[in-house]
Amino acid sequence: MQHEMHLYKEPFDMIKNGSKTIELRLYDNKRKLISVNDTIVFTSTENPGETITAKVIALHIFDSFETLYKNLPLLKCGYTPENIANANPSDMESFYTKEQQKKYGVLGIEILVISENL
């Protein structure tokens, strides 16, 4: 199955250059449809003509970003050596509230880029 997601410039570029291999999302009804070996087409919000197609190689499901941050390598989740010291699960609250996390849980989607349309 193929899924579609939009990404801001920085995470899009990090997936493109291979430094971000785990995409973090709410484990809502849309994400519950994702399975290992599915594909995801990521579209740049800055330039909708730019896409990256990736294969899902693992799914990491947690009750909250706090638990996820304790269990996944954050350098693969979009942090860099320069900002990893300040990594905090509350960073994700600008996207997903604690109430949403409690209701749905959260997901780390581990991916492998298979093609780019830049």
The model's pLDDT over 34-78, given as tens digits with 9 standing for 90+, comes to: 999 999 999 999 999 999 999 999 999 999 999 999 999 999 999
Using the predicted structure, report yes or no on whether residue 118 has a pLDDT greater than 90: no
| Range(s) of the domain holding residue 47 | 2-117
* pTM of the predicted structure, to 2 decimals: 0.94
Angle at 42 between CA 39 and CA 46, to 5 degrees: 175
Task: Judge contact between 7 and 81, C-beta under 8 A.
Answer: no
What was the pLDDT predicted at 115? 85
β-pairing, 39-44 vs 51-62, is antiparallel
In whole angstroms, give the CA distance from residue 52 to residue 41.
Answer: 6
Number of domains comprising the chain: 1
Task: Cite the DSSP H helix spans in 2-79.
Answer: 9-16, 65-71
Domain of residue 88, CATH code: 2.30.130.30
